[in-house]
């Protein structure tokens, strides 16, 4: 992206000035280096989103932003339903509620290392992964409807977890407003054997250890110390979320024309929040969120079963579970007034600061944990949300490293055995269902997560708490 098209606000904040049909300016949080690495398409998409009805304050891009469908991945936009605000599939994405859950194990690195290979193999054989992967849970349509309404609460009620898990999941494990009647039979058929599975692409389960602590107070609240072993699970709503997005792109395309909504490209099809079509999409999207929360809850149960066999003294507890492909109804201060807004975060993580009553009591004095996954073989981070971030970006931060190279380019450049060998030299054990999937997710295909996290920290979106380094990983 060319710097000359932007106005520099600070070292880590840049503005696309309002012009033409833009209702608000664009705002990009990035260093000069990250700006120069971004595709020009990011600037174009941020600008197009800024033209949508009812958008509040700014069209925002995070440090890991890259080209996406309609909105950039790493895009954030809030819409006011009282000002003809819209809801958009492109602002949520296909993998609804793709997110990360991090778990404490109650173990130190030196306790796990002697059995690491056995542990990774057991996790790999227990947790289904890969394209079209299916789990042991087979649900009827009516049972799946219960999942879509209940989310992680359904999983716990059916023996897949512990009641205290729910306190440490956003929305306490269940997003209100879900209506399975708004989800197609095709979407449900595709999902009935996929609860409790990782899927493919950039989804993973990783065994990590805490390498550094930056924020002592927050680390203590989150129960983290140097040397602690942590498990991170990155996955979403699988086939159901993808089918919901596919179905509602058609619905919202008709709605855009019906309501005369000016859109800059067809990928931004949308509907007024308070229209029948907008309300239907929100209810279906909420089902997708609940499906993803249930999915990560069942995987947590499977992790507990594996640890019970190999390291019985482990005590698996949830640090936090937060999504990065959602539209949430949230209260934010706008021009001195608290307003209820529909906040779209696509490839962006909710990052609320301290004091929010929705946060777990244990974390409320420091803020919400923000989990940032790195690329395969690199560091991941736990951050904490800030009040400044709520003012600047509706309480949002980055979600990962962000791609710099297409999957097709990665396939031309690396071999699976080469990647596995290089990671093994670093002491990292990798198991993958697909050689192709492994190569597509080569570490060098992504931005430098250290730079991305540093920008989020210095821009005030979220503050660094802990650095996690990988010990082993399973992928689709």
Q: What is the pLDDT of residues 19-76, one digit of tens each?
A: 999 999 999 999 999 999 999 999 999 999 999 999 999 999 999 999 999 999 999 9
Q: Is 324 annotated as a binding residue?
A: yes
Question: Does the annotation mark 399 as catalytic?
Answer: yes
The total domain count for the chain is 1
Is the pLDDT at 138 greater than 90, yes or no?
no
| Among 9, 29, 46, residue whose Cα is nearest residue 451 | 29
CATH number at 400 reads 3.90.1860.10
Q: Is 151 annotated as a binding residue?
A: no
Q: Are 471 and 427 in contact (CB under 8 A)?
A: yes
Mean pLDDT calculated for residue range 251-273: 96
Q: Is 204 annotated as a binding residue?
A: yes
In sequence order, the 6+-apart residues with CB closer than 8 A to the CB of 359 are 352, 367, 368
Q: Is 259 annotated as a binding residue?
A: no
Mean pLDDT calculated for residue range 86-111: 98
Is the pLDDT at 128 greater than 90, yes or no?
no
**Per-residue pLDDT at 192:** 79
> Who has greater pLDDT, 246 or 418?
246
Q: What is the pLDDT of residues 145-157, one digit of tens each?
A: 999 999 999 999 9
Pairing verdict, β 462-475 and 380-385: antiparallel
User: Residue 233's domain spans which residues?
Assistant: 3-475
The catalytic residue among 344, 399, 457, 463 is: 399
Q: Are 344 and 62 in contact (CB under 8 A)?
A: no
Q: Is 463 annotated as a binding residue?
A: no
- Rounded Cα distance, 468 and 382, in Å: 8
Angle between helices 116-126 and 276-310 (to 10 degrees): 140
- Rounded Cα distance, 458 and 348, in Å: 17
Token readout for 226 is 């140097």
| Among 280, 234, 292, residue whose Cα is nearest residue 96 | 292
**Per-residue pLDDT at 447:** 76
**Per-residue pLDDT at 201:** 79
Q: Are 476 and 200 in contact (CB under 8 A)?
A: yes
């Amino acid at each position: 992206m060319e710097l000359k098209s932007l106005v520099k606000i600070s070292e880590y904040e840049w503005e696309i000035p309002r012009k033409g049909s833009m209702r608000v300016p664009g705002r990009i949080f990035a260093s000069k280096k990250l700006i120069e690495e971004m595709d020009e398409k990011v600037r174009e998409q941020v600008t197009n989103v800024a033209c949508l009805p009812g958008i509040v304050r700014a069209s925002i891009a995070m440090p890991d932003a890259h080209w996406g469908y309609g909105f950039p991945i790493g895009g954030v936009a809030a819409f006011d339903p009282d000002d003809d605000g819209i809801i958009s599939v492109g602002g949520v994405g296909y993998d609804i509620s793709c997110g990360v859950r991090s778990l404490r194990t109650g173990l130190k690195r030196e306790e796990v290392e002697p059995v690491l290979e056995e542990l990774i193999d057991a996790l790999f054989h227990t947790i289904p992964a890969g394209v079209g992967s299916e789990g042991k849970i087979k649900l009827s349509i009516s049972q799946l409807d219960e999942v879509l309404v209940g989310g992680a609460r359904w999983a716990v009620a059916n023996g897949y977890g512990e009641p205290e898990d729910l306190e440490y999941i956003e929305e306490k494990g269940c997003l209100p407003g879900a209506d399975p009647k708004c989800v197609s039979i095709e979407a449900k058929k595709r999902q009935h054997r996929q609860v409790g599975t990782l899927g493919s692409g950039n989804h993973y389960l990783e065994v990590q250890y805490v390498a550094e602590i930056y924020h002592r107070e927050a680390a203590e609240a989150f129960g983290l110390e140097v040397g602690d072993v942590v498990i991170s699970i990155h996955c979403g709503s699988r086939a159901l979320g993808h089918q919901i997005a596919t179905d509602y792109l058609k619905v919202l395309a008709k709605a855009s024309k019906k309501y005369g909504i000016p859109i800059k490209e067809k990928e931004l099809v949308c509907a007024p929040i308070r229209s029948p079509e907008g309300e239907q999409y929100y209810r279906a999207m909420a089902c997708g969120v609940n499906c993803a929360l249930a999915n990560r809850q069942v995987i947590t149960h499977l992790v507990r079963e594996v640890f019970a066999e190999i390291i019985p003294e482990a005590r698996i507890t949830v640090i936090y579970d937060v999504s990065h492909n959602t539209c949430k109804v949230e209260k934010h201060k706008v021009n001195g007034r608290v307003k209820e807004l529909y906040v779209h975060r696509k490839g962006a993580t909710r990052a609320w600061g301290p004091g929010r009553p929705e946060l777990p009591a244990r974390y409320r004095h420091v803020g919400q944990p923000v989990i940032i996954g790195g690329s395969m073989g690199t560091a991941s981070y736990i951050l904490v949300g800030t009040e400044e971030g709520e003012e600047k970006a509706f309480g949002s931060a980055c979600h990962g490293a962000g791609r710099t190279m297409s999957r097709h380019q990665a396939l031309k450049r690396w071999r699976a055995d080469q990647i596995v060998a290089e990671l093994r030299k670093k002491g990292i054990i990798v198991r993958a269902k697909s050689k192709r999937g492994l190569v597509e997710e080569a570490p060098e295909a992504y931005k430098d997560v250290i730079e991305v996290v540093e920008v989020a920290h210095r821009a005030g979106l979220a503050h660094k708490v802990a650095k996690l380094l990988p010990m082993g990983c399973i992928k689709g």
